Structure 1
């Protein structure tokens, strides 16, 4: 929020007057509208009781976070009796109450979803925000560079990365787990799985509960064991081997012996990516994993039934709340298959074109008419010879 309040102090105007955070809602709303337009590069369209915010290609990725933070700020100021108006981030058209939707029993209210006797409502809960993001549809990024992990590994070696960061990076590409899920792995997460290549892991929104597992390759497992028994021991406050550590001990530690944080890892990650000469945030490794897995499913399956079965396994492994998430990746794969088909077709077109013109030239040589010989009678020598031969022929 600091950039916004700094901008508000020096740049904002409402009715040709500067605006501060404790002014009336209309002034604050106009200031936020100006900020969305000029600083976050959104498009804002007024509607009945609220403003529609359209995210553009130039918009900041923190638009939703910014609006949520400002809304929470004013809620707090109102609760502390420091802002004496209605929350400027809450619109006039509030959300539709659940009671407005009838239940299956005539003239009776809907039962709680916990009862399980009525079909759950399929609509999303409406927001009461004054600024509503209209086109905020999440679309995963598709990473189709199949050699991407190896480029990152090579850059890591060239930059002198630590064994810890190498293990974490390999976890990212091999498991499809979020970086936060990897950094929070514990010794117990490895022990709690019967397969030596698997670890239990948290999932987004699981409240630290281990509700899924991740799999690593044999080579990455060897690196993990070497890290825990050697490099990690040098950083840890208690120099214990893997068999001596408690289940609660985090696997990855900083050089000070504290749990390895995302900010510390990202600093090292930036160095590696700069060495590779690419722009890549850690989360894109997850998208690369899904794209690669989907490609492997299609290439290794012989029937449509096998494809569907493997896709269900992938959805279960990723712990997606909405199975439809996979459809977007499939759309990419369908496009990729069309590109390959189109490239092959273009190659055939090109080859056929060369053969056609080659055969055309051959036909032209066979059917080319004999050009008549033209005698120039303007030459006196030729003219006399012709007359002489003519008279000899007459005799």
Structure 2
């Protein structure tokens, strides 16, 4: 099916746009183009591209299949028309169920619902925020619940006419992010579940494919960062030379976190091997591509660690293009973010295997939660559930191996016997009388009820 699509500006072409979105007739579609360039200055490029990828099919659908009051809906129509179009798209294309509520509409995900529902809602809401900010949309944001502020009840512990105390104070009940969203369309039954990556050899398969394929040292270092640290790819690509110098430990770097507004509020830790490759990359391959060709110790703090062959900061789209070539060569279809899930699964496995007491396990889990900077500490329980299942699988496999071994030994010994002697079965315990036997039997069945 035809759709809207985007193209990065080719080398050697002068344009005010680094990326242009085209419609299905290959005409430039300026609203989404402007949206990209506005948002890329606010959030990571990888996030903007993810939003763009979910918006392009919607705008194609809007152009050809939407309807409101017997006509097609335009993106700049009044809020009611846009809401109706989004509602239709959620039902027809994303297979959601929608129920009207006071001031907003609740979305119920079904077994057929797209995994990108939340992504689409965030993207379309952000699109209209951008259009209003750029004065391209003259109405209020159709994706906002206009009665949101009026419907928020006073929280226990809050004091009227005074700001909320910080969460650490413990005097006020924490706000629920999902219940407090100001979106007009609110997902009611959504529950996020992280993906579990239990292939312990996954990084080595990718490293081997990269070596065979002849990848750049830069991409090897970035990939090793992903599996070493569990950091998001956007956090890795935004690392600077100063981020390495801020930490006293040789194997650590300061890093941003999702929602930290570019502030370095956490650290990531790499292996000695990755550190060696990083220094080698900065002093060789990176040095040849940089505008200022100096070694690591002479680089300014503000310099990005990873750059393109043109000397510009290495973007997510450029990395992703190289990543897909390597993973395809390895015979793996893998999103870069799954390296983060692999890291957590592997760390949890190590915690259980290297701890001797329950107290040690709990202490190390708290350290992992703090390192990952999870907003919800309960996230780790999903991974724990997987590890419990994996431990049972390991136990079950060992038992089955023992069963098979004993079966083979029994059959082998049976062949050597010319005659099987029948021996009476001796019970493991004797009861004094039939009454005792009956009492025991009664108690046994009572225990089964």
Q: Report the TM-score when normalising by structure 1.
A: 0.81
| 1:102–1:109 contact (8 Å) kept in structure 2 | no
Residue 120 of structure 1 aligns with which residue?
A: 173
SS at match of 1:263: helix
Mapped partners of 1:15, 1:355: distance in 2: 79
Deviation at 1:258, TM superposition (A): 0.8
The answer for the alignment partner of 1:138 in structure 2 is: 192
Provide the residue aligned with 1:47 in structure 2: 100
Q: Shift of the alpha carbon at 1:101?
A: 3.9
Q: Is the 8 A contact 1:176 1:286 kept in 2?
A: yes
Unaligned runs of at least 5 residues, structure 2: 1-54, 423-449
Over 3 Å counting, the alpha-carbon distance change for 1:222 and 1:5 in structure 2 is closer
Tell me the matched-pair count: 363
What is the aligned partner in structure 1 of residue 387 from structure 2?
Answer: 333
User: Which residue is 2:222 aligned to?
Assistant: 168
Q: CA RMSD in A?
A: 3.1
1:127 is paired with a residue whose SS is coil
Contact 2:226 2:232 (8 Å CA) reproduced: yes
Q: Give, in whole Å, the separation in 1 of the partners of 2:304 and 2:406.
A: 63
Q: 1:63: Cα distance to partner? A: 2.2
Question: Could you tell me how far 1:57 is from its partner in structure 2?
Answer: 5.5
Aligned-pair distance for 1:316?
A: 1.7
> Alpha-carbon deviations, 1:91-124, whole Å to 9, x = none?
58746655534548xxx74853237483234544
Aligned to 2:273, the other structure's residue is in SS state helix
More moved, 329-338 vs 55-64 = 55-64
Could you say which residue in structure 2 is the equivalent of 1:262?
316
- TM-score, scaled to structure 2: 0.72
**Larger-gyration structure (1/2):** 1
Cα deviations across residues 48-77 of structure 1 (Å, max 9, x unaligned)? 344332345654443223223434555677
- What's the counterpart of residue 23 of structure 2? none
Quick check: 123-132 or 142-151, which moved more?
A: 123-132
Change (3 A) 1:359 1:286: same
Question: Which ranges in structure 1 are unaligned for 5 or more consecutive residues?
Answer: 369-395
3-state SS in 1 of match to 2:85: helix
C-alpha distance after superposition, 1:194-214 (max 9, x if no partner): 221221212222222222222
Residue 151 of structure 1 corresponds to 205
What's 1:186 paired with? 240
Taking a change above 3 Å as real, the CA distance of residues 77 and 303 of structure 1, as seen in their structure-2 partners, is closer
What pairs with 1:189-268 in structure 2 (closer than 5 Å)? 189-268=243-322
